[in-house]
Structure 1
Amino acid sequence: MTVIHKQDVVDSVADALQFISYYHPVDFIDAMARAYEQELNPAAKDAIGQILINSKMSAQGHRPICQDTGIVTVFVKVGMQVQWDCDEPLQSIIDEGVRKAYSNPANPLRKSLVADPAGSRKNTRDNAPAVVHMELVSGSDITISIAAKGGGSENKAKMVMLNPSDDIAAWVEKTLPLMGAGWCPPGMLGIGIGGTAEKAAVMAKEALMEPCNIQELQARGAETTDEKLRLDIYQRVNRLGIGAQGLGGLTTVLDVKVKSCATHAASKPVVMIPNCAATRHIEFTLDGSGPASFDPPSLDHWPEISLENSETSQRVFLDQITQEDIASWKAGDTLLLNGKILTGRDAAHKRIQELLEAGEPLPEGVDFRGRFIYYVGPVDAVGDEVVGPAGPTTSTRMDKFTEMMLGQAGLMGMIGKAERGAETVESIRQHQAVYLMAVGGAAYLVAKAIKKSRVVAFADLGMEAIYEFEVSDMPVTVAVDCHGKNIHEIGPAIWKVKIADPQL
């Protein structure tokens, strides 16, 4: 009878979460490097390059790959012959490991979980509880698969109850463009098929724990229905031309994973969950002999990359920016930002809205007139850092506040990731404003461009407070110019046509 010690689980969970916060899986690095070499769209290639450079920087600096250090998902397979040295619930043991990981002073991870989700949405302050799935299996050890899943990709999960004769790959091909770029492609798709609605969702999430190996499957050929479906979806999705960060290009997904199980004769539940460019997961086994250990990958796995677009980027100075300057920027242009910007996310925008509706002034130091806002919730700084990893959050969530920010608050421009809705694009055009896109999945790289940081308002919101950043050569792409030209429409449309050309 194997005795599993509580502290071994706590320490292993904590160490695993720290490990995956700054080390991508090697198979994922290899897949991303392959996508970089094959990409023909310069903007998409530059985005993938930034992701890979950021990944290597995080591995060297032991700092988070992405500022969104995720909600913790854990799959635990417990052997029937296992005995525990305590009677605490498994949930409590794992949550203790989560708290230990996220409060590590050497590498604090951003605490993003809120309780009372339909009400006060108050931060739990420790990123617990984790989402735990437990299964009893044969054997005398326990296997734990653990992931840190970002909100941007999780929010794009899709579920459908298809008719038994419906084509799953066709549903994915139709649905994926509707997800936009907020899930930070290129990444992976997990597809769960069968069972019941909740079973399909669990299978989709578990599928994302598997390694990237679609090239191996292509080489040997599909043998099962699920393998045939993987190849079909992989080809269909990449033919859409969505590309890295939704800019248009050859690679939208690095791999597609499928898990299925028996279902009712009248049912065909399907769930699709994407994993972003900050894919973070690991598996380990405990046999009673002590906590798990994790071997860091060699830095030789990362390719040597120099960003070509940096040589053609236009350097701009935000503290002296004029309307004429913004009018000269075109969708797809690359810029290097210098100067001061304010930050703000969902909670800050809601408070601004409440103040404006009440006719009350904004807090001292918060004046958006003629300025730019960056949608970000940074990780806490350590050592001599100005700020921790500070990549963009999904801009679409701020769409409902955009007209207020441009029309009432006097904002000149916005910086974030992913596409904007049609009404927001029209508002940008009417106000002659601009929307700039930073690369999701390059948070540590972006943080190095931030030279000064201070909280100016709503400090009680933690990472959702309003900061003022002073940036130097922060790389961005003009996603929506002041004429309403939208790179997230233009880019994929162009590359979908190019991919269909047999001469490509």
Structure 2
Amino acid sequence: MAVKVIKTSEIEEQVAQLIQQANRFLPLDVLQAMERARDAEEDSGARLILDILLENAELSRTSGLPVCQDTGIDVVFVQAGPDCLVEGDVMSAINSGIARGTREGYLRKSVCDPVTRKNTGDNTPAVVHWFVSTEPGFRLSVLPKGCGSENMSALKMLPPSAGLEGVADFVLERIRQAGPNPCPPGIAGIGIGGTMEQAALLAKKALLRPVGKSNPRSDLAQLEQSLLSRINGLGIGPQGLGGSTSALSVAVEAFPCHIASLPVALNIQCHAARRAVACFQDGRWKMEETGKIMATGRSGAMNSLLSLAKALDLPLSREKVSGLRAGDWVKLSGRILTGRDQTHRRLCELMDDGVSLPVELENQLIYYVGPSPAPPGHVIGSAGPTTSYRMDAYTPRILSRGVLGLMGKGKRSPDVVESIKEHGAVYLATIGGAGAFLSSCITASRVVAFEDLGPEALYELEVKDFPAVVINDSLGNDYYSMIRPD
């Protein structure tokens, strides 16, 4: 067998291209699955959300903006065959490719030190999994993983007596609890067996499998179909707003385990199920087919949504907020502030120190977003919401300073819902994973504080007809609970 030498410069080039491609072009199988789900969905609201997600994919394909502003932490799977030899430091080449692709593609820098929370500045290092294969060739699979879905993932060490029904119960309960947070409809990657870390790796690797492709083992394929049906029977629906499309696919992988254990891991992927693959075979590199070739043909979803929404001019007032009810769609116009975890932490630290805040919070609406960098010709990059519960620890104090509106995605804690009611405020959700779509509603953007935080800085945005739905109104009503009382 002739040995082919692969230069690290080639790996850097491929990785740089792959992460840009993955963030702009959803896989063809994902788009087709979403089309099928849209056509089968009976709930009109759920169909409209799916139309918006398809339109977002089309906007990303044509505009160059990422599908979602959370361009993720990059997970790279390397499969090396016996006929390939890499010349040089593969890990350095992969990370150089990540840094280069992040810079060239105007992708968000989302990787930080876990203790200090200081951003690494170039989205490195990647999480790399290396596999030695008996098959010829060299394969690079890039999986950018946003943390709205990653944070909802879980692992459990079941007793063997739990069996497959115990596995199913764990998966269903975890997805039920996650509800709207991971931006459904997505993919459930499930790893069964091995050890703790092997089950988690199997679950992650399962997300590389094309949507709808079953496990070759008939018992696992049957489990996949059963779980998909039961997940869609939960009624979570697109964005957690109801409907029969809560997941697009379930992929199960298994590995032999110890006689005394039954590890199971669930890795949830959002509807923006990004991945890209390049293979080196027969002396050349080839990228696998993506949705780059597929125009969804979806347009007009924004107009349909806005026709259902009531105009809400900013700044807010107690009178305006008191007229909103859970389930109302609104279109926001005016100036809003942004703030993620670190901005909220900084604001609360300033309050603790008795220092004046850099912005006036009274009557403001704070949008939980960390936009991707603006490419040339754009006011802002992709600018969809982040998951709101992470701000729960700070929210009562922020509300005490006169903030009347909060906007993100997903559920709030009971304490925060009560605080929203106490302060006569409102919590809105906008469309998770639709960063390119929502970017078109932003007409101006500037950093007003904490510029050193990068994507977590405090921005002031000018918005026009920015769509959102009221989740928690000033009376304490919760729209998610109204949709799914359980």
| TM norm. shorter chain > 0.5 | yes
2:112 to 111, 114, 121: 114
Provide the C-alpha distance between the structure 2 equivalents of 1:292 and 1:130, rounded to a whole number of angstroms: 22
Q: Of the candidates 251, 256, 279, which is equivalent to residue 273 of structure 2?
A: 279
Determine the C-alpha separation between the residues in 2 that align with 1:383 and 1:317.
29
CA distance in 2, matches of 1:379, 1:227: 38
2:61 corresponds to: 59
What is the CA-CA distance between 1:293 and the residue it aligns to?
Answer: 4.1
| Alignment partner, residue 32 of structure 2 | 30
Matched, 1:384 2:388: no
Distance 1:36 1:259, change over 3 A: same
Distance of 2:173 and 2:410 partners within structure 1: 19
Query: Can you give the 5+ residue segments of structure 2 that lack an aligned partner in the other structure?
Result: none
Q: Is the 8 A contact 2:279 2:287 kept in 1?
A: no
Distance 1:139 1:173 in 2: 36
* Contact 1:33–1:303 (CA under 8 A) maintained in structure 2: no
Which residue pairs with 1:488 in the alignment?
480
Q: Does 1:101 align with 2:101?
A: yes
Residue 228 of structure 1 corresponds to which residue in structure 2?
A: 222
Provide the residue aligned with 1:367 in structure 2: 360
Q: Map of 1:74-89 to 2, 5 A cutoff? A: 74-86=76-88, 88=89
Choose which of 394, 400, 403 in structure 1 pairs with 2:393: 400
Is the CA contact 1:3–1:288 (under 8 Å) kept in the aligned structure 2?
Answer: no
Alignment of 1:310-459 (within 5 A): 310-319=306-315, 321-363=316-358, 366-407=359-400, 409-459=401-451
Residue 460 of structure 2 is matched in structure 1 by 468
| Aligned equivalent of 2:233 | 239
Quote the residue 2:126 is aligned against: 130
How many angstroms does 1:202 deviate by? 0.3
CA apart distance, 1:80: 2.1
The CA deviation string for residues 203-252 of structure 1, in whole angstroms up to 9 with x for no partner, is 000000111116xx6xxx99622111101111111111111111111110
Match of 2:7 in 1: 5
Q: Which amino acid aligns with 2:149?
A: S
What is the CA-CA distance between 1:290 and the residue it aligns to?
4.0
* Residues 447-482 of structure 1, C-alpha deviations (whole Å, 9 max, x = no match): 111111111111111111100001000011111111
Specify the code of the residue in structure 2 equivalent to 1:392: P
| Native 8 Å contact 1:5 1:288 kept in 2 | no
Asked if 2 retains the 8 angstrom alpha-carbon contact of 1:249 and 1:492, the reply is no
Secondary structure at 1:263 match in 2: coil
CA distance in 1, matches of 2:271, 2:217: 29
Q: CA deviation at 1:292?
A: 3.5
- Whether the 8 Å CA contact 2:335–2:461 is kept in 1: the answer is yes
**Which secondary structure state, in structure 2, belongs to the residue aligned with residue 114 of structure 1?**
coil
Q: How many residues align?
A: 479
CA contact (8 A) 1:42 1:309 kept: no
Say if 2:138 is the partner of 1:142: yes
Q: TM-score, normalised by structure 1?
A: 0.92
310-319 or 122-131: bigger deviation: 310-319
User: For the Cα contact (< 8 Å) 1:16–1:294, is it kept in 2?
Assistant: no
Task: Tell me, yes or no, if the aligned pair for 1:222 and 1:228 is still in contact at 8 Å.
Answer: no
Alpha-carbon shift at residue 131 of structure 1 (Å): 0.5
Partners in 1 of 2:101 and 2:440 — Cα distance? Answer: 24
**CA distance 1:127–1:223, shift in 2 (3 Å):** closer
Give the match's secondary structure for 1:304: coil
C-alpha contact 1:81 1:138 (8 A) present in aligned 2: no
1:402 shift after superposition: 1.0
CA contact (8 A) 2:236 2:484 kept: yes
Q: Which residue of 2 aligns with 1:18?
A: 20
Deviation at 1:48, TM superposition (A): 1.9
Give the equivalent residue in structure 2 for 1:500. none
Q: What are the superposed Cα offsets for residues 263-289 of structure 1, whole Å, 9 maximum, x if unpaired?
A: 011100000010012110122211373
Output the CA distance in 2 between the equivalents of 1:186 and 1:442.
13
Partner of residue 92, structure 2: 92
* C-alpha distance in structure 2 between counterparts of 1:309 and 1:139, whole Å: 49
User: In structure 1, what is the Cα distance between the partners aligned to 2:63 and 2:289?
Assistant: 16
Contact 1:392 1:438 in 2 (8 A): yes
Separation of aligned partners in 2, 1:367 and 1:396: 23
Distance 1:370 1:121 in 2: 30
What is the match of residue 259 of structure 2? 265
Q: Which amino acid aligns with 1:44?
A: A
Letter in 2 for 1:491: I
Q: Output one character per residue of 1:401-442: Cα deviation in whole Å (capped at 9) or x when no partner.
A: 1110111x2100101011111111111111110001110011
User: Residue 147 of structure 1: SS of its match in structure 2?
Assistant: strand
Q: Which residue of 2 aligns with 1:200?
A: 199
Deviates more, 1:305-314 or 1:60-69: 305-314
- Alpha-carbon deviations, 1:344-391, whole Å to 9, x = none? 00000001111101111112xx11101100000001112121111110
Q: Which amino acid aligns with 2:314?
A: L
Q: Is the 8 A contact 2:4 2:283 kept in 1?
A: no
Equivalent position SS for 1:171: helix
Contact 1:339/1:470 (8 A) holds in 2:
yes
